[in-house]
Amino acid sequence: MHFKFDKSRIHSFESVSSTMDIARQMAEENCPDRTVIVAKHQTCGRGRMKRNWQSDQGGLYMTWVLRPKINISLCFAFTFSSALSIVEALEKIFKIKAEVKWPNDVLVNGHKIAGILTETKIDNNELNYLNIGMGININNIPNSNTFQATSIKDLIQKKVNTSTFIDFLFDKLDYNFQHMNPKKVIQEWKARNCTLGKFVRVKTFASFSEGYAIDIDNSGALLLEKENGEIETVIYGDCFEVSGIKFT
Amino acid sequence: MHFKFDKSRIHSFESVSSTMDIARQMAEENCPDRTVIVAKHQTCGRGRMKRNWQSDQGGLYMTWVLRPKINISLCFAFTFSSALSIVEALEKIFKIKAEVKWPNDVLVNGHKIAGILTETKIDNNELNYLNIGMGININNIPNSNTFQATSIKDLIQKKVNTSTFIDFLFDKLDYNFQHMNPKKVIQEWKARNCTLGKFVRVKTFASFSEGYAIDIDNSGALLLEKENGEIETVIYGDCFEVSGIKFT
């Protein structure tokens, strides 16, 4: 790895339970902003909604510990920015055209190539740390029952050299996290997304919300136009496109 | 202690580093909603803005681990409700008239009798736990250089029996946390506060905000009317009344 930034901030492991767990521990022990935990393999990789994240050898599994001095309502921008950085790295290094899916996935032709997890600790309404975990399918062959997934190896039909990709991605993330502009991030996210304009179903706490995904607000929440014309703001949830259902 | 609710949820200690630390550990280990950590003494009691909280014998130091299924923007209501519960218990058991001060203190005649700390953990925009720590000066004699403080013993001029107070307060908190109504909490907070209507200075991240405290919004943030007529929304900070400064 040949990064522009201080390598001492990168902590690499062969195998960990989950980079999120190590990151939390290091964050609680006051590690500096933009500390990175990287692992080649995870024994208990975490996905969203308490699902597992398949973490075979060949994938890239990492968590960034961030401590930006921002209003907590702007944390979403760091998640969106991570997804956009992955999209850009895929395009730049492998000429793979990817899209972002609300709230925080990266897809290629509708198949998931990367997923993002966040863990936020807030003390008295001030952000203590924001940990962003990313799982990227590179040289592994993902096999998921729940989602259709893909990897760079799947797409290019051969094992790829990861070092240029990782160098580019890490520098990109590091730069973007340091020069965060939430408005610009939303603009860029909108230009690259595959969620808006579709009729979607979002699984929230205990129920579902369904509607036409019309926009993202300033806090990254999804605006759904329901069948009765009401606009619902959905802060987070699992988002599925509903085929064949359209407003009449 | 004779509470209405399940005592197995209360974990009492003679002395701990800080009830916040124990609570975090238990929360990370998935303890249930409304688990309570109580200590008679803290060796490293925490205050806001990384200050210490003096934790002499005779005070009540505790942290409640909450896991409400709410939108994270409503967490403030649990903090406000804690302060209001303390105010009510002081009035009911000791006939002491107390007030709430934004963001989360309890004062008697301008002297601090209780302080509240919160620690919030959010996973993918969903609340994992909200820990609310309370330090209440009961039979201790607080001695602070930074703030004028008082205790029940100070006010009543004798050592008091804590058990009725604790029973009442715990039942109150337990009930309020289970039946949370943010709108009602804001109403009650406004009726009991000593912040609104004053010219205040609020210390935020790296700067100060000054203005006339005109209202609290739906998220518990303080609305300051600045001298130039602008309204500033202050999410959190240390709030001081500025004596002798008034709009002309």
Inform me whether the pLDDT recorded for B11 exceeds 70. Answer: yes
* Beta carbons of A121 and B120 less than 8 Å apart: yes
Q: pLDDT value at position B156? A: 93
Which chain A residues are Cβ-neighbours of B129 within 8 angstroms? none
pLDDT score recorded for residue A49: 60
The whole-number pLDDT of residue B108 equals 95
Q: Say how many CB pairs under 8 Å bridge A and B.
A: 59
Task: Write the burial class of residue A95 (CB in 10 Å: 0-12 exposed, 13-18 middle, 19+ buried).
Answer: exposed
Over 70: is that where the pLDDT of B73 sits?
yes
3-state secondary structure of A38: strand
- Enumerate domains of chain A plus CATH numbers: 7-192 (3.30.930.10), 199-241 (2.30.30.100)
Smallest CA–CA distance, residue B158 to chain A, in Å, is 33
Per-residue pLDDT at B245 exceeds 80: no
Residues B194-202 have a mean pLDDT of 90
ipTM entry: 0.71
Average pLDDT, chain B: 88
| pLDDT beneath 50, residues of chain A | 244-248
Give the C-alpha separation, B87 to B104, whole Å: 12
Nearest residue of B to residue A47, measured between CA atoms:
B124
Q: What is the pLDDT of residue A144?
A: 61
User: In sequence order, which residues have a C-beta less than 8 Å from that of residue B124 and are 6 or more positions away?
Assistant: A48, A103, A104, A117, A118, A119, A236
pLDDT in the model for residue A225: 93
Q: What is the pLDDT of residue B235?
A: 79
Range picked from A115-119, B69-73, B142-146, B205-209 for highest mean pLDDT: A115-119
Residue B19's pLDDT is: 94
- pLDDT more than 90, % of chain B: 61
Selected residue with higher pLDDT from B68 and B203: B68
Distance from CA of A102 to the nearest CA of B (A): 12
Spatial neighbors of A194 by CB under 8 A, at least 6 apart, are A99, A100, A101, A107, A110
- Identify the closest residue of chain A to B119 by CA–CA distance: A123
Q: What is the band of B205 on the pLDDT scale with cuts at 50, 70, 90?
A: low
Residue range B178-205: mean pLDDT, rounded: 91
Question: Which positions in chain B have a beta carbon within 8 angstroms of at least one beta carbon in chain A?
Answer: 48, 69, 71-72, 76, 103-104, 117-126, 205-206, 235-236
Report the pLDDT value the prediction gives residue B45, as an integer from 0 to 100.
Answer: 80
pLDDT at site A46 = 76
Tell me the nearest-neighbour CA distance from B4 into chain A, angstroms.
Answer: 29
Contacts of B229 (CB under 8 A, 6+ apart): none
